[in-house]
Structure formats: structure tokens, C-alpha cells
Amino acid sequence: MTALVIAEHDNATLKGSTLHTITAAAQCGGDVHVLIAGHNADAAAQAAAKAAGVTKVLVAEGAQFADGLAENVAAQALALSAGYSHILAPATAFGKNILPRVAAKLDVAQISEITKVVSADTFERPFYAGNAIATVQSSDATKVITVRTTAFDLPADGGSAAVESVSAVADSGKSSFVSREIATSARPELTAAKVVVSGGRGLGSEENFKILDPLADKLGAALGASRAAVDAGYVPNDWQVGQTGKIVAPDLYIAVGISGAIQHLAGMKDSKTIVAINKDAEAPIFSVADYGIVGDLFEVVPALVKELG
């Protein structure tokens, strides 16, 4: 049995999501190969070769892969799919966009967002916004799987896989990348951070969200938000934590002015420790919080920053 991981990368670096996916791939029981479909992506390929468990890195080079267009990356994975028992990708916007195309062309089911590998053909996955966990078994010849990265550890370092070129499929010609607006921040990435400070509608405005900055600075935290805060325009869309936003599982999640709707809890209830700050004692967030403070966040947050010293 051999698994193929479709790597998420930006040509210059390998994304952490790929590493967590490699761990899941290895648990499926055989060798792990990694596909780097990119443009001048040698650095990403070398990083993948160092992950323990990886025995081969396949590099498909071409401008048609530079921006991760689903039509092209999926076609490349398909061209290589023969002989693989499992094909995996991270359950990120990248992986979720691409992988179902591969499954459909192979005429097999996809298992989305697994949280556990039970055996080579059986997996656990959350559904109903994480209120239920399904154990599903696939009898398809190839198991096509997206991986919830927070459920799998990083692999060890120290691998030295062979890196080989594969012939690149042509551009589909039907889609083109136009532009991107990606925020750059000195803060850690939301899905990888050990501490997340998250704000909700209670903050009230884009300007008010800045009161979370000193707290995030003190704790070296990433900043997140509820859907309500994003919809209201206080913060950008990529801050959203929740069922249809990002899934996070940091050591510490501090929910500030977040009521705790089911859909938000779906994105953060696997956090190791949850703190809630809300002026409404009945807010559902307190039902998942380990520690709660009922109070005005505009007083509590500065006081907390001061107490942290």
C-alpha cells in the first residue's frame, strides 16, 4: 500500500498542513509519497523530503501550477494516481478545493476531514458541525481523503526521501488566476498557533478589535474571530473560526465577546483550555469554557493584559 499526499505549499515553503497530512498518510499503513505541483518549488520539495515517513517526493513543474488552480493540480494527481491505495490532502481551502475532482474522476467516494485513521479502510470524521462523529468504511479501490490537520501531530524530522521529476500535465485552459489579497502578519498562523485570542460581535467595531492586540502580543497569540464579527466587517474573512471557517485546536483559546453559537464551537471546542469573557452569564460559550469571566470585555481585557505583566 502506498499513499500519495498532495502537498500544499507556496513554492518557497511547504505549509504545515502538508506535514500533519503526512502523519495521517503514514497511519494508513504503507509508504508515503508527496506530490509537489508547483513552479520553481524546489525548496518546498526539499522540505517534504525531510519529513519522516516520506519515501519519495514527486515534483511536477509548470507555471500552470504556480497558483494552485484546482483543474491543473487535480489533473496532475490523477495522472499519477495509478498504484496508490490512498490519496490525501489537507482539509484546508487548498485541499478541499482540489481533492473531490480527483475522487470523482476515479469514480470513488471522498472521505472529508478525517480526525482518526482506524485502519486502512476505516476512518472517523465529524459531521453535523462536529456534534456527531461518524466511523466510515470505504470499499473503493482508492481511498481519497482530506485530513483535519489539528487531529494529527507533526511528523518527526530526519527523513531523506528521493526527489524526482514527473512530467507535468498541460494547463486546462479553462481557468486562470487573476490576483490575491493575502494579509501578512507577524503573528503566528491561526491554525498552527498555540494560543488564539478570538473576538466576537461584542467588540462592536473594527476599531475596538484593536484592544485585543496587547493581549495577543503578550501571549504570542494568533487572532481569530466569530462569523458575526466577520460579517459585520470588523475583521477580514480569514480570521473566521467555525464550522465553515477555520478549525483550530490551540493549547489556549480565549473567546472575547463571543456568544458561542453551535457553528463557532465547531471550530474551537477541541482546544486544550478555553477561556470565555462575556458580559452575558447565559452565553452558551460558558458551557464549553474551562474558565469564564462574566464582565465587560472593555474592562476585563485591559485588566488581563496588566495582570499578565
Partner 1 sequence: MKVLVPVKRVVDYNVKVRVKSDQSGVDIANVKMSMNPFDEIAVEEAVRLKEAGKATEIIAVSCGVLQSQETLRTAMAIGADRSILVETDVELQPLAVAKLLKAIVDKEQPQLIILGKQAIDDDANQTGQMLAALLDWPQATYASKVEIDDSKADAPRVNVTREVDGGLEVVSLTLPAIVTTDLRLNEPRYVTLPNIMKAKKKTLDNIKPADLGVDVAPRLKTLKVSEPAGRAAGIIVPDVATLVDKLKNEAKVI
* Shortest Å, Cβ 290 to partner 1: 4
208/107 Cα distance (integer angstroms): 50
Q: Which of residues 89-118 bind partner 1 (CB under 8 A)?
A: 92-94, 96-105, 107-113
CA atoms of 133 and 125, how far apart (whole Å): 6
Among 54, 274, 283, 297, which residue sits at the site for partner 1 (rule: CB under 8 A)?
Answer: 274
The number of residues that bind partner 1 (CB under 8 A) is 89
Q: Kindly tell me which of 49 and 235 has the beta carbon lying closer to partner 1.
A: 235
Q: Which is nearer to partner 1, 157 or 174 (CB)?
A: 174
b (16+ CB within 10 A) / e for 64-103: bbbbbbbbbbbbbbbebbeebbbbbbbbbebbbebbbbbb
Quote the distance between the C-alpha of residue 167 and its chain's center.
29
Contact letters for partner 1, residues 165-184 (x by CB under 8 A): -------xxxxxxxxxxxx-
- Cα 48–3–190 angle (5° rounding)? 50
Separation of alpha carbons 72 and 68, rounded Å: 8
How far apart are CB 9 and partner 1 at their closest, in Å?
A: 13
Closest approach of partner 1 to the CB of residue 137, in Å: 5
Pick the closer one to partner 1 by CB: 168 or 274.
Answer: 274
Interface map 183-222 toward partner 1 (x if CB under 8 A) = x-------x---x-----------------------x---
Could you say which residues in the range 33-62 bind partner 1, by CB under 8 A? none
Beta bridge partners of 60: 37, 166
